[in-house]
């Protein structure tokens, strides 16, 4: 849709389904309040759907502005089936910032609800503006209250995580507590939402039958699935961030031997074998690295042709992004590799000296191994040998 503060805003295809459902549902409600609108009520309902999601966008912008204020990069804002999401790429540095970052969204939704309420005071309730303002006031209040529920992935869950993090001193402990609270919340929504809806109409003969019952159950199941899945994803991401420091550029780097571009592949491989190196770096006449020989390129050359193939034909020219500081670890390393996709990188010391070659296959293998290790209980040191 565009960019706000440099952050792209996207609309998921599922939004159009929700907009259609809101238009149909709100249109039916309008028929009871303003029957004189006729079929025009659906046009008013469509306007309400767009205005409601504009409010959701404002909610997400609050998170985005706070993230930018705290120097946290935001990949994008996406409006989707149930509301929206601001994809913040890094964790907050402190529990206080995490609490503020999570709380500004519901706070702004409450402010919007208040603004729409004030608007209701200056218009007639039985008019299109009055009904729209009432609907937007109620919907923003629901968004604020729902997001304040204390379970991940909701904003209230992130606020709970920040509180537990502050008390325990461990962000992982906060995530575990908030994620399991989120799972309990998902079960409560699955069972409690349809039950609470029908308790309100207990005097009606068909309160537990019909289309409304099915709709309530389906809505509860979708909400519960979203919360449960989000809580699980939060746990996995926390576990990933906890183990990322184990990804170390220096430890994963292959020893490399420098060769000139015209060196035959067979001779270059002989030198590498003699020195125990597992990678080749092409250098110019002054010894400055200019390219990295691709491992896949070497594998594709038959043994009998290697004396006739110069290494320069198998090399990828170095760009600035393909030079990786040897001291990079964790998220910093992954961010660097993600910014410049390649199969091999030249790892250099602070002095510019060649340290070796980093292969993305080695990074991926180390990443998978780190995630496969059993998690230590929060607050406990890992077992010996892990």
Question: Do 14 and 130 reside in the same domain of the chain?
Answer: yes
Which pLDDT band, with edges at 50, 70 and 90, does 374 fall under?
low
Domain membership of residue 128 (yes or no) is yes
Q: Which range marks the domain in which residue 70 is found? A: 1-148
Compute the distance between CA of residue 80 and CA of residue 65 in angstroms, rounded to an integer. Answer: 20
Query: Is 198 annotated among the ligand-binding residues?
Result: no
Question: Do 268 and 241 reside in the same domain of the chain?
Answer: no
Question: Do 24 and 132 reside in the same domain of the chain?
Answer: yes
Domain membership of residue 158 (yes or no) is no
Q: Is the pLDDT of residue 355 over 60?
A: yes
Compute the distance between CA of residue 115 and CA of residue 233 in angstroms, rounded to an integer. Answer: 35
Gyration radius of the chain's alpha carbons: 29
Which pLDDT band, with edges at 50, 70 and 90, does 271 fall under?
very high
Question: Do 280 and 144 reside in the same domain of the chain?
Answer: no
Domain membership of residue 153 (yes or no) is no
Question: Do 186 and 119 reside in the same domain of the chain?
Answer: no
Question: Do 138 and 23 reside in the same domain of the chain?
Answer: yes
Query: Is 63 annotated among the ligand-binding residues?
Result: yes
Question: Do 188 and 259 reside in the same domain of the chain?
Answer: no
For residue 110, which of 132, 141, 135 has the smallest C-alpha distance? Answer: 141
Active site residue 60: yes
Question: Do 127 and 17 reside in the same domain of the chain?
Answer: yes
Domain membership of residue 280 (yes or no) is yes
Number of folded domains in the chain? 3
pLDDT tens sequence across 52-64: 999 999 999 999 9
pLDDT tens sequence across 79-100: 987 788 999 988 899 999 999 9
Question: Do 103 and 237 reside in the same domain of the chain?
Answer: no
Domain membership of residue 357 (yes or no) is yes
pLDDT tens sequence across 150-166: 999 999 999 999 999 99
Give the DSSP H/E element, type plus range, for residue 162.
helix 155-168
Which of the two residues, 203 and 123, has the higher pLDDT score? 123
- The 3-class SS string of 189-225 reads HHHHHHHHHHHCCCCCCCCCCCHHHHHHHHHHHHHHH
Domain membership of residue 19 (yes or no) is yes
Question: Which pTM value belongs to this model?
Answer: 0.71
Which of the two residues, 211 and 197, has the higher pLDDT score? 197
Domain membership of residue 77 (yes or no) is yes
pLDDT tens sequence across 97-117: 999 999 999 999 999 999 999
Domain membership of residue 286 (yes or no) is yes
Question: Do 142 and 10 reside in the same domain of the chain?
Answer: yes
CATH number for 347: 3.10.580.10
Question: Do 16 and 54 reside in the same domain of the chain?
Answer: yes
Three-state secondary structure call for residue 242: helix
Question: Do 242 and 279 reside in the same domain of the chain?
Answer: no
For residue 227, which of 23, 83, 14 has the smallest C-alpha distance? Answer: 83
Q: Are strands 354-359 and 344-348 parallel, antiparallel or unpaired?
A: antiparallel
Q: Is the pLDDT of residue 138 over 70?
A: yes
Annotated catalytic residue, options 60, 98, 295, 344:
60
Which pLDDT band, with edges at 50, 70 and 90, does 201 fall under?
low
């Amino acid at each position: 849709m565009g960019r706000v503060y440099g952050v792209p805003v996207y609309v998921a295809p599922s939004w159009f389904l929700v907009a259609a459902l809101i238009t149909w549902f709100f249109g039916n409600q309008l028929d009871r309040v303003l029957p004189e609108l006729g079929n025009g009520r659906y046009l008013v309902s469509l306007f309400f759907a767009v205005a409601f999601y504009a409010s959701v966008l404002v909610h997400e912008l609050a998170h985005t502005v706070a993230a930018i204020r705290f120097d946290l990069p935001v990949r994008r804002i996406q409006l989707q089936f149930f509301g929206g999401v601001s994809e913040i790429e890094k964790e907050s540095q402190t529990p206080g910032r995490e609490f503020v970052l999570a709380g500004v969204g519901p706070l702004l939704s409450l402010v919007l609800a208040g603004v729409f309420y004030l608007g209701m005071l200056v218009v007639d309730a039985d008019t299109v503006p009055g009904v729209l303002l009432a609907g937007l006031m109620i919907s923003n209040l629901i968004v604020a209250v729902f997001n304040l529920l204390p379970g991940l992935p909701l904003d209230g869950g992130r606020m709970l995580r920040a509180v537990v993090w502050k008390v325990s001193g461990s962000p992982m402990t906060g995530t575990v507590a908030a994620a399991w609270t989120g799972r309990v919340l998902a079960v409560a929504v699955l069972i409690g939402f349809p039950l609470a809806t029908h308790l309100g109409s207990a005097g009606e003969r068909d309160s537990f039958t019909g289309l409304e019952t099915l709709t309530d159950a389906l809505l509860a199941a979708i909400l519960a699935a979203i919360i449960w899945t989000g809580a699980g994803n939060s746990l996995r991401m926390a576990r990933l961030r906890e183990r990322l420091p184990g990804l170390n550029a220096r430890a994963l780097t292959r020893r490399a031997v420098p060769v000139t571009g015209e060196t035959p592949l067979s001779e270059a491989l002989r030198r590498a074998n003699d020195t125990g190196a597992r990678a080749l770096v092409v250098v110019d006449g002054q010894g400055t690295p200019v390219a990295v020989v691709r491992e896949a390129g070497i594998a594709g050359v038959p043994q009998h042709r290697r004396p006739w193939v110069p290494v320069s034909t198998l090399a990828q020219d170095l760009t600035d992004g393909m030079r990786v500081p040897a001291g990079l670890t964790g998220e910093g390393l992954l961010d660097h590799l993600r910014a410049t996709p390649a199969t091999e990188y030249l790892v250099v010391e602070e002095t510019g000296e060649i340290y070796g070659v980093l292969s993305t296959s080695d990074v991926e293998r180390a990443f998978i191994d780190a995630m496969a290790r059993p998690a230590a209980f929060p607050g406990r040191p890992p077992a010996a040998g892990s």
